[in-house]
Amino acid sequence: MAIFKTLLMVVQVLTALGVIGLVLLQHGKGADVGAAFGSGASGSLFGATGSANFLSRTTAVLATLFFIATLSLTLLGNYRPGTSLGVMGAAPRPAPAASAPAVAPASDVPAPASAPAAPAVPK
């Protein structure tokens, strides 16, 4: 189970970094103004609109993987396995141990000497 958690954490971190990188690579809505100064995408690897479609689809896939990894880690973090009884099924409960009577703790201070008992005077 620990290996699976570690693998999910690695996937989550890598997808988060991928989403961050792809979002930073994408052009914003105001990118058309920059195209007038020579930074157009017409000569890019994916064509004029191919890069936008590729980057947005890849971002969507990585974001989906990120959310799946996050939900999986949440479910695994809250999972508390019960005690396994194995092939025995329902094991009998042990009888409670008999408790010994409580013994007063010995004091380090010696007890004061008691005065001799006075005889009872009848009234």
What confidence tens digit (pLDDT) does each residue in 16-51 have?
Answer: 999 999 999 887 766 555 555 555 555 555 555 556
Q: Provide the 8-state DSSP code for 108.
A: S
**DSSP structure string for 2-24:** HHHHHHHHHHHHHHHHHHHHHHH
Would you state the pLDDT for residue 50?
A: 57
Name the residue among 19, 24, 116 with its Cα closest to residue 69: 19
What confidence tens digit (pLDDT) does each residue in 46-105 have?
Answer: 555 556 688 889 999 999 999 999 999 999 888 777 776 667 666 566 666 666 666 666
